[in-house]
Amino acid sequence: MVNRERLLSTLIDLIRIDSPSGEEDAIDLELSTRLQALGCQIQHDSFNNIVAKLPGNHHGSRAKPVILSAHMDTVDPGRGIKPMIDGDSLRSDGTTILGGDCKAGLTIVLEALASVKESGGYRRPVEVAFTRHEEGGLVGAHHLDFGLLSAKEGVVFDGEGPVNRITVAAPSQNVVTANIKGRAAHAGLEPENGISAILIAAEVLGLLPLGRIDFETTSNIGRMEAGLKRNIIPEEAFLDGEIRSRDNAKLDHYSEAFRQVFEKISARHPQAQISLDITNTYQAYDIDGKHPAITAISRACKAIGLTPQMEASGGGSDANVFIEKGIVALPVGIGVQSFHTTWETANIPLVLQGVQVCEKVIQGV
């Protein structure tokens, strides 16, 4: 049976372990230790993603393996997190994120495995994939050794809200980076001899199609770095952004629109150097509602009294990479709201529901 106190203790313990992207060794050690204690066979691939396997205990037709996945890393500010219980909620002290994304997902998998083992009942073979560096480009999933996995369906515990929110469609993403080089000059003595990279960047930003483009397409420039001092005409500027769409034709269209804007601005400023790179980081998916993976998650939700909600998302997750590799592992909610903010909150009863659904998936209800 799912143990609320153990679940809460595990979640708090994991949250207290700093694991910003690229610094997952400590959380890896803790998770590996806990998985081994649950009887899992632990492997690490060349990127140090965790792949753990727990054999099933039945040889019938229901004994197909299932993947349970979550990621180990968190975003900034995520060091020295102080989790605080507030009624049925868990939050930080307001100076950092909580790290519920994705510590709640990790906790759900651990507690579900513990509960199923304690019950002694039927379980499917389980393959756990805990990835590194998901934030900022699904890096761990892209480097995951899929040869270590045999399952063809599963669940990615990495969605906002309740567990019955099943993400059945998600976009492709193209990452956009640009470097602009003008010419430095003293801003007070000879500004006319300078070429401002910031002003050129402003021209670019004024022409790019940004924001909500349509119901399945967005674009954004999320970061700009430029200049050295207020009395120097800025010589260099850097832009970092993205284009997303669940329709790859639209993704291509707006990527080309970006290129045309940069070409136009380059023609206006022949003495400046402007470079643009657009690189795809993950591919869209749209899974039919009758797929066995959706059916399995839906049955698990219904078994604990929840109505499955099929949703299309504007965000990517490790699921994009799993599905591209032929494994239909779909994201579900983990009971957490306001990802990536200092007011991020984990709703303990909703996290508990996540465990109950995970347990039912393992049991093959």
What are the contacts of 292-298 at 24+ separation with CB within 8 A?
A: 292/153, 292/328, 293/153, 293/154, 293/328, 293/329, 293/330, 294/166, 294/168, 294/330, 296/66, 296/153, 296/361, 296/364, 297/155, 297/166, 297/330, 297/332, 297/357, 297/361, 298/166
pLDDT over 80 (residue 59):
no
Q: What share of the chain is helix, strand, coil (3-state, %, to 5)?
A: 35, 30, 35
Percent of the chain at pLDDT > 90 equals 95
Across the range 127-138, mean pLDDT stands at 95
Q: What is the pLDDT of residues 3-22, one digit of tens each?
A: 999 999 999 999 999 999 99
Catalytic residue among 28, 73, 127, 318: 73
Active site residue 225: no
Same-domain pairing of 49 and 154? yes
> Bigger pLDDT: 137 or 218?
218
Cα separation of 261 and 264, whole Å?
Answer: 5
Q: Does residue 23 have an active-site annotation?
A: no
Statement to judge: residues 66 and 112 lie in one domain: yes
Tell me the residue type at 45.
Answer: D
Crossing angle of the two packed helices 348-363 and 100-119, in degrees rounded to 10: 50
Q: How many CB atoms lie within 10 A of CB 236?
A: 17
Q: Could you tell me if 50 and 32 are in contact, meaning their C-beta atoms sit under 8 angstroms apart?
A: yes
Query: Region 134-147: what's the mean pLDDT?
Result: 95
On average, the pLDDT of the chain sits at 96
- Is the same domain home to 139 and 123? yes
Classify 90 as helix, strand or coil.
strand
Name the pLDDT band for 278 (thresholds 50, 70, 90).
very high
Q: Which domain holds residue 178?
A: 172-282
Q: Which position has the token pair 């993704």?
A: 251
Q: What are phi and psi for residue 156, nearest 5 degrees?
A: -110, 115
Same domain, 80 and 108: yes
Which pLDDT value is given to residue 92? 97
Tracing tokens 């956009």 back to the chain, one arrives at: 176
Mean pLDDT of 250-257: 98
DSSP string, 14-28: HHTS--BTT--HHHH
Question: Which residue among the candidates 30, 134, 158, 235 is catalytic per the annotation?
Answer: 134
* Structural domain count, the chain: 2
Position 61 scores a pLDDT of: 44
On whether both 50 and 161 belong to a single domain, the answer is yes
Listed residues 282, 300, 330: the one ending a domain? 282
Looking at the fold, whether 255 and 289 belong to one and the same domain comes out as: no
pTM of the complete model? 0.91
Question: Which domain-ending residue is among 282, 306, 330?
Answer: 282
Residues with Cβ within 8 Å of residue 356, at least 6 apart in sequence: 2, 112, 304
Domain of 210: which CATH number? Answer: 3.30.70.360
10 Cβ partners below 8 Å, 6+ apart?
34, 107, 110, 111
Do residues 157 and 194 share a domain?
no
Predicted confidence (pLDDT) per residue in 195-231, tens digit: 999 999 999 999 999 999 999 999 999 999 999 999 9
Residue 187 scores a pLDDT above 70:
yes
pLDDT attached to residue 76: 95
pLDDT of 60 reads 52
If asked whether residues 212 and 245 sit together in one domain, one would say yes
Q: Using pLDDT thresholds of 50, 70 and 90, give the confidence band for residue 315.
A: very high
Query: Do 278 and 302 have their domain in common?
Result: no
8 A C-beta contact, residue 41 and residue 53: yes
Tell me the percentage of the chain whose pLDDT exceeds 70. 99
Residues 270, 357: one domain? no
CATH code for the domain of 140: 3.40.630.10
The last residue of one of the domains, among 282, 307, 327, is 282
9 & 82 share domain: yes
